[in-house]
Amino acid sequence: RSAFTSITQSFNLNPRGLLLETDSKSLRSMNGSRRNSGSSLVSSSSASSNLSHLEEDSWILWGRIVNEWEEVRKKKEKQLKDQVRKGVPHHFRAIVWQLLCNAQNMPIKDQYSELLKMTSPCEKLIRRDIARTYPEHEFFKEKDSLGQEVLFNVMKAYSLVDREVGYCQGSAFIVGLLLMQMPEEEAFCVFVKLMQDYRLRELFKPSMAELGLCMYQFECMIQEQLPELHMHFQAQSFHTSMYASSWFLTIFLTSFPLPVATRIFDIFMCEGLEIVFRVGMAILQMNQTELIQLDMEGMLQHFQKVIPHQFGSGPDKVIQAAYQVKYNAKKMKKLEKEYTTIKTKEMEEQVEIKRLRTENRLLKQRIDTLEKESASLADRLIQGQVTRAQEAEENYLVKRELATVKQQSEEASAQLEQARKTISELQQQQQQQQPQAESVMQLERELVQARLKEAESQCALKEMQDKVLDMEKRNTSLPDDTNVARLQEELIGVKLREAEAVTGLKELRQQVRDLEEHWQRHVARTAGRWKESPKKNTLSELQDELMSVRLREAEAQAELREARQRIMELETQNQIQSNQLRRSEQENRCLHEREQSLTVQNKDLHVELKEIKRRQAEIECKSKEEVMAVRLREADNIAAMAELQQQISELEIEKEEGKVQGHLNHTDSSQYIRDLRDQITELKHEVRAISSIINSAEQNDLLMMGHFT
């Protein structure tokens, strides 16, 4: 009290007068800017009537700070931070928060009334969430109350000012807290400042990139300062965003009771998001023992139901613990750069993955096209082989038919020559014997028929020669093939059939010769037919008829032989075609089997490649885990060593204080000093033991790294 009195005397101010003057100014500013909102705070008269001496001193000090704000902000920033950490008085929060964020005279305040007349695309979302914001608070509890109306106005106005962010659900709690302290126009200005200058706008953007950065930085702090708890979170797959995202989005307004959250918000207005990191780490340190024993569901229940009720006595405990947390601003900047690099790499990897997927799709399409082309080429190749085999068989058949026609032509020529000789002989005999006119006419008819057959044979021979020439031309354009070797067996069978046909033809020729000899003998016998008696002439006629019957029988047998020969040729051709079809089917099956075997082999190779990659990834992951475990053990040992050293220093300080202040009597002091010395000795032994453990761990780490290398 004497210190505060000296401060007021140095400024020549009456403490009570300063209090009333400051309070009246702040209230006038609030009531003047609220217009018709009706959400003014408790009056200064009712509040000041119940002030204790400590509260009076606090009001005096904050009144001076507000009156001399510029000087205090520039020259006594550290003292200002200390006072904010101790708490801003309730009636000073409106003006102090505006001064801390420099939101007193913002040009956008004049646009507020115009913004309320406009229509926002986020109005339905805002209306839906209004009733969920502080549902138990008197100011916002009633539906369509003044509190809900002014909250809707501020959120709507900001969604029109910042259309990129628009409306985000967690921001309503911050605006609601501002409206508990000040009118809606001033709350709107302060909220705009918070979004612009306190990183909240980046947190509430649709991408929430800043929230991801905060989660990354907070998780790194946990890994560094609470490694055992971090390993438990990792083992339970309990991600940081599952419990800490609301801390950053609402500055603990949805996690703690309102008095505690308001004290934290005081510090946030002065120091920014650093207090969120500190308070979050303090909460985890205070609850580390309980959290390690719980599973994921139990930890969620602990964060939701146990932690909010731990600070019912007041926020001083958690704030004091928060400022015992190690917070390095340079390291946070380094983590921010690391996070930016990681996100950049992830974006590049996503772009690369999209590119690879596109290339993979194009390659699959190309593979399908090539497979179709390959199948088409295989079909064309098989068809070409079949066509070449058919043409070779046709060529062979045509040659054989040509040989047969040539042979028939030679036989017909020989028969024609023989018939000519017979005709010439008969003509000579006709000159001698007129009665043989009928036989001559018959022979002439046979001669005409023979000539017709010869002409037909010549035509057929010419056609066959043309066909042979055409086939030879086609064969010259075709490549050599192994089909000739395959047709040797069929050729042997054809030759056997041809031999049988030749044998039958020889038999027919022998019959013709026998008939010709018989005919000669008959002519010799009938030379004197007209000189003999009529009975003998009748007998001769019967013999002639018999001879003609035998000749017709021979012709019928020859035709039968020809028909059988044709049937044999057709059977041979059918067998050749069947063999060719069977060979083509076998080749097709072989090609399909080969294709299937290649496909199976390709799949096996792909499976083997995937297995090798998986094994390699497992080996790399195992090596990384082992290295990380060694490093974690080393970090635990270092932390334990640091804690022990700190305990030693604290015990030494307590020893010195006990000696200086003399709080204990002589016997108790000496006993206390001996106990402290024993503890110091034990702690030094533990430090030496931990040092030896750290050295052995480092050696093991080096050996392990050499093994991995």
Separation CA 423–CA 429 (nearest Å): 10
Task: Decide: helix, strand or coil at residue 250.
Answer: helix
23 in Cβ contact with 59 (< 8 Å): yes
Does residue 37 form part of some domain?
Answer: no
**194 and 223: one domain?**
no
pLDDT the model gives residue 488: 62
Close Cβ partners of 339 (under 8 Å, ≥ 6 residues apart): 212, 213, 216, 217
pLDDT the model gives residue 218: 93
Closest CA to 82 of 58, 60, 51, 54: 58
Dihedral sign, Cα of residue 52, residue 58, residue 60, residue 63? negative
**164 and 257: one domain?**
no
Cβ count within 10 A of residue 510: 10
Does residue 235 form part of some domain?
Answer: yes
**233 and 323: one domain?**
yes
222: domain CATH number? Answer: 1.10.472.80
Close Cβ partners of 392 (under 8 Å, ≥ 6 residues apart): 475, 478, 481, 483, 484, 487
Dihedral sign, Cα of residue 669, residue 670, residue 676, residue 679? negative
Separation CA 343–CA 158 (nearest Å): 29
Separation CA 427–CA 439 (nearest Å): 10
**Distance, first Cα to last Cα, the chain:** 69
| Residue owning tokens 């603990």 | 252
**239 and 184: one domain?**
no
Does residue 212 form part of some domain?
Answer: yes
Closest CA to 577 of 473, 480, 470, 487: 487
Task: Look at the chain and report how many structural domains it folds into.
Answer: 2
Does residue 186 form part of some domain?
Answer: yes
Closest CA to 47 of 23, 18, 15: 23
pLDDT the model gives residue 247: 92
The first and second tokens of residue 556, run together, are 């019928």
The first and second tokens of residue 421, run together, are 């000789």
Cβ count within 10 A of residue 270: 20
Low-confidence ranges of the chain (pLDDT < 70): 1-56, 430, 432-441, 443-444, 447, 450, 468, 472, 474-491, 493-495, 498, 501-502, 505, 512, 522-523, 525-537, 539-540, 543, 655, 657-670, 672, 695-709
314 sits in the region (left: phi over 0; alpha: psi -120 to 50; else beta) called left
569 in Cβ contact with 501 (< 8 Å): no
**234 and 319: one domain?**
yes
471 in Cβ contact with 395 (< 8 Å): yes
Q: Cα–Cα–Cα angle for 414, 417, 420, nearest 5°? A: 150
pLDDT the model gives residue 624: 81
Close Cβ partners of 9 (under 8 Å, ≥ 6 residues apart): none
Separation CA 316–CA 313 (nearest Å): 9
**295 and 217: one domain?**
yes
The domain boundary, picked from 173, 198, 223, lies at: 198
**186 and 214: one domain?**
no
| Residue owning tokens 């007021």 | 8
Domain extent for 302: 207-327
Distance of CA 376 to the CA centre of its chain: 33
Closest CA to 700 of 622, 630, 637, 621: 630
**247 and 303: one domain?**
yes
Closest CA to 77 of 271, 319, 263: 271
636 in Cβ contact with 228 (< 8 Å): yes
Separation CA 466–CA 460 (nearest Å): 10
Does residue 129 form part of some domain?
Answer: yes
**235 and 308: one domain?**
yes
- The DSSP annotation for 394-421 comes to HHHHHHHHHHHHHHHHHHHHHHHHHHHH
Q: How far is CA 359 from CA 345, 346, 366, 377, in A?
A: 20, 19, 10, 26
Separation CA 24–CA 131 (nearest Å): 34
288 in Cβ contact with 228 (< 8 Å): yes
63 in Cβ contact with 89 (< 8 Å): no
Three-state SS string across 591-635, please? HHHHHHHHHHHHHHHHHHHHHHHHHHHHHHHHHHHHHHHHHHHHH
Does residue 678 form part of some domain?
Answer: no
**624: exposed, middle or buried (C-beta count within 10 Å: 0-12, 13-18, 19+)?**
exposed
CA torsion 52-53-56-60 (nearest 10°) is -170
The first and second tokens of residue 520, run together, are 């000669």
Does residue 77 form part of some domain?
Answer: no
Number of H helices, E strands in the chain: 28, 0
Q: How far is CA 210 from CA 128, 174, 206, 497, in A?
A: 26, 18, 10, 97
**120 and 174: one domain?**
yes
Q: Cα–Cα–Cα angle for 161, 166, 170, nearest 5°? A: 120
| Residue owning tokens 């044709």 | 566
The domain boundary, picked from 327, 360, 382, lies at: 327
CA torsion 147-148-154-158 (nearest 10°) is 160
pLDDT the model gives residue 216: 93
pLDDT tens track for 603-657: 888 888 888 888 888 888 887 888 787 778 877 778 777 777 778 777 777 767 6
Separation CA 261–CA 93 (nearest Å): 14
Separation CA 382–CA 372 (nearest Å): 15
The first and second tokens of residue 160, run together, are 């029109």
**193 and 304: one domain?**
no
**136 and 182: one domain?**
yes
- The DSSP annotation for 507-534 comes to HHHHHHHHHHHHHHHHHHHGGGTTTS-H
Q: Cα–Cα–Cα angle for 251, 256, 257, nearest 5°? A: 120
12 sits in the region (left: phi over 0; alpha: psi -120 to 50; else beta) called left
**650: exposed, middle or buried (C-beta count within 10 Å: 0-12, 13-18, 19+)?**
exposed
243-268: buried (b, 16+ CB within 10 Å) or exposed (e) per residue? Answer: bbbbbbbbbbbebbeeebbbbbbbbb
Phi, psi of 574 (to 5 degrees): -65, -40
Dihedral sign, Cα of residue 38, residue 41, residue 44, residue 49? positive
pLDDT the model gives residue 47: 36
Phi, psi of 35 (to 5 degrees): 55, -120
Does residue 466 form part of some domain?
Answer: no
149: domain CATH number? Answer: 1.10.8.270
The domain boundary, picked from 172, 198, 224, lies at: 198
274 in Cβ contact with 214 (< 8 Å): no
